[in-house]
Structures are given as structure tokens and as C-alpha cells.
Copies of this chain bind each other. A is one copy, B any other.
Amino acid sequence: MSSRILSIDDDAGIRRSLGAYLEDCGHEVIEAADGRSGLEAFERGQPELVLCDLGLPDMSGLEVVAALHARSPDTPLIVISGMAAVGDAVQALKRGAWDYITKPIADFGVLDTAITHALERAGLIRQNREQQARLEAMNRQLAHTLRQLQEDEEAARTLQQRLLPPDGLGFGAYRFTRRLLPSAYLSGDFIDYFALDGQRIGFYLADVAGHGAASAFVAVILKTLVGRYLRAHVRQGDATILHPAQTLAQLNRDFCAEGLDKHATMLYGVIDQREDLLCWGNAGHFPYPLLHDGVGARFLAHPGRPIGLFENARYQEHCLHLPQRCRLLIASDGLLELLPPQPRAGRAEGLLPHLDDVDGSLENFMQRLGLEQQAERIDDIALLEIDRHG
């Protein structure tokens, strides 16, 4: 290991012998005869190690040590002191010297070892620092890129939230409550409900295969299409949106036309408030809607084909009259992950005991399933509750 060493000593003889020895060891030597020129030589020469005699003519060796340490604490500094001045050597160590050697130097091997150890230690400190700087720079870069992407998805999430209907919206005796708990920033589950006219309410819950941004894109496509059918009804009297089976068939055709290689399950329903009549179609959605009719809870079990797989899929329409007091719960299949493992259909049965009260709240239902606590989710969870109070 060849290094540039600054040797500060007022004794020309010692400087010469030290210098000769160090050069023999392969080091480059800068010499200074007093404190002030030593400090100057340090600034000019940027040595990697300093040997400093404590007995200097112009300033105290301890002052030189303190000045060098303040200037460059990571440059190893070895003081050389007379046998009688061990107290000074200890003072020097306290002020930042790394080691000390007593004069006269009988065994240059001791000096050599001290220099080697000091340079090794300085190397480790430098390595420490460089490594840390490198890793920190990498961290900063990663964190920066991550923040950009997070902000990007956060903005998209805000937009997705804007597409949702108000939570707790009431239509006459019916109140719609919704929860959307994405597994990532963006959700492939989606919920909507809207007045079709003064008498009827349309609603749906869609669950796009997968999750994250790509599935959220598809959810946006579904929402846009349904929104378009709604406006076609409101503005042009197109009746499609009033009929669940027709709506799902139309949606499936429109969606297949996009050629997206994605599919979704969906439950679309219409409630006629005057008749208290619920009609719905199920496009492969599971778990089935859960109805509590005041007496007990049961699934409205009707299978159907998902949206986006079969261009000419047909859908069935089911209708039932709703009692004065009832509660309809529709959930995406992410909810089933919270239930004890069983065959898929069997697992959904596990939801029934949690919907034992027609007056219970969605909040309470979620608490019983431990849904609030779940921080990390492997799938999106969407919940839509429709509540009729007599």
C-alpha cells in the first residue's frame, strides 16, 4: 500500500531518516519543519497520513493535531513524542490523533505497523462512507421512481373514486351503502347505482378478473358503457338499461368488441320502488347476492356467463317482491378469502351467519368478518348493501 505521507518534525536528522525509511517502504513523503508549514503542506499536498512530532518550534504539537483533526478527521494522524512526554501523547489522542509512537524510534517495524493499521482503518472508514453513499444514492433513486409511480397511481385512484356514486345514497325507502377496498392503488371491482327515472333505480357490482391498473381500466370501460346506456335511456328513451338481461347482453357485446382479453363478472339489478320489485341478471357473479327478508338470510342463487368471454352470451332475468324490511348484500369474491378455506361454493355459506340481523349495518357485517383490520389484501373487495326500511 503506497501512500502520500506528511512528516512534520523540526529535527532535520529525524525527518531525513524517517523520510528515507518511508520511501523505502514505497510511500511518497512530504516534509515540514514546523507547525505552520505543516498545516500549509497538508492543504497543498492532501496527504493520506500525517506523522507529527509534538515538540515543534512555532506552535504546540497539540494545536497542530487539533487543527488537522478539525480540517480532516478521517486522515490518520500519528504523533511522535519523546519518551518523557507520554502525557502529551495521551492529550494528542484525545484531540484526534489515531496513534502515537515514542522517540527515539528504535524499531521502525513499530512505525510501519502503526502506519499500516492507521491506513487500513482509514480505508475502512472511507469504504464505509462510499458504500453508504452508493447505497443511499441508489435508495434515493428508487424512492424517487417509486414516488412518481405512486403519485401516478394515486391520481388515477382519485379519479376512480370520483366515478363512484355517493355512499349512503337514499332513493325513497331504499338506501345504498358501498365499500371498495382495493388490494392495490386501483381496483378492478366497481360499484354503481343511479336513478333510472322517478320510479326505478339501477345498480351493479362488477368484478374484473385480476386487480390493479389494468383491471381498473376495464372497470372504467364497463362503467362508461353503462353510463352511456343510462344516458341513452334518459335522453333518447332507449329502454335497454331498464332490463337487466338486456343490459348485460348489450354490455357483453360492447365489451367483447373491444377485444381486450379480459373478462368480468357482474350483477346488474333494477328496483321498482312503487312495486317493491327487484329484477336482476347475474353475469357469472359469485358469491350470489344475499337477501335477508326479515325472517332469515338466503342466497339468490342463479349462475350466468361472465362479461367478455362469449360474444353472444344470453342472460336471464329474475324478479322477486321485496318485503317492507329487507337487506340485500352483494360482495365481490375477494370477500371469500376472509372465510375459512373450504370448497368455493361451501365457503360462501360462511357469509350467512354474519347476515343474521335484518337491522344490522354494513359496518357491523365488515367488523364481524375482520374486514377493517385486513391491511394487505390479495384481491379487491367490493361490498354493496341495499337496505329497505319499512
Additional A-B contact list (19), CB under 8 Å, known A149-B150, A216-B217, A228-B254? A120-B121, A121-B124, A124-B124, A135-B136, A146-B146, A146-B149, A152-B214, A155-B214, A156-B212, A159-B214, A159-B260, A162-B261, A163-B260, A217-B217, A227-B254, A227-B257, A228-B228, A231-B253, A231-B254
Measured CB to CB, the residues of A under 8 A from B are 99, 110, 113, 117, 120-121, 124-125, 127-128, 131-132, 135-136, 138-139, 142-143, 145-146, 148-150, 152-153, 155-156, 158-160, 162-163, 184-186, 210, 212-214, 216-218, 220-221, 224-225, 227-228, 231, 253-254, 257-262
Given A135-B136, A220-B220, A213 contacting B128 (CB threshold 8 A)? no
Chain B residues lying within 8 Å of A225, measured Cβ to Cβ, are 224, 228
Question: In whole angstroms, how far apart are the Cα atoms of A148 and B153 in the complex?
Answer: 12
Residue from A149, A216, A257, A259 having most chain B Cβ neighbours under 10 A: A149
Closest CB in chain B relative to A320 CB, distance in Å: 31
Question: In whole angstroms, how far apart are the Cα atoms of A100 and B336 in the complex?
Answer: 68
- Some 18 contacts from A to B, beta carbons below 8 A apart, are A117-B117, A117-B121, A127-B128, A128-B128, A131-B132, A155-B214, A159-B262, A162-B260, A163-B260, A217-B217, A220-B221, A221-B221, A221-B224, A224-B224, A224-B225, A224-B228, A225-B228, A228-B254
- Among B131, B143, B155, B259, the residue within 8 A (CB) of A142 is B143
Chain B residues lying within 8 Å of A148, measured Cβ to Cβ, are 184
Question: In whole angstroms, how far apart are the Cα atoms of A254 and B228 in the complex?
Answer: 7
Closest CB in chain B relative to A104 CB, distance in Å: 15
Residue from A127, A227, A253 having most chain B Cβ neighbours under 10 A: A227
- Contact assessment for A152 and B153 in the assembled complex, using a CB-CB cutoff below 8 Å: yes
Closest CB in chain B relative to A206 CB, distance in Å: 14
Question: In whole angstroms, how far apart are the Cα atoms of A188 and B153 in the complex?
Answer: 14
- Contact assessment for A217 and B160 in the assembled complex, using a CB-CB cutoff below 8 Å: yes
Closest B residue to A118 by CB, please name it.
B117
Question: In whole angstroms, how far apart are the Cα atoms of A259 and B185 in the complex?
Answer: 21
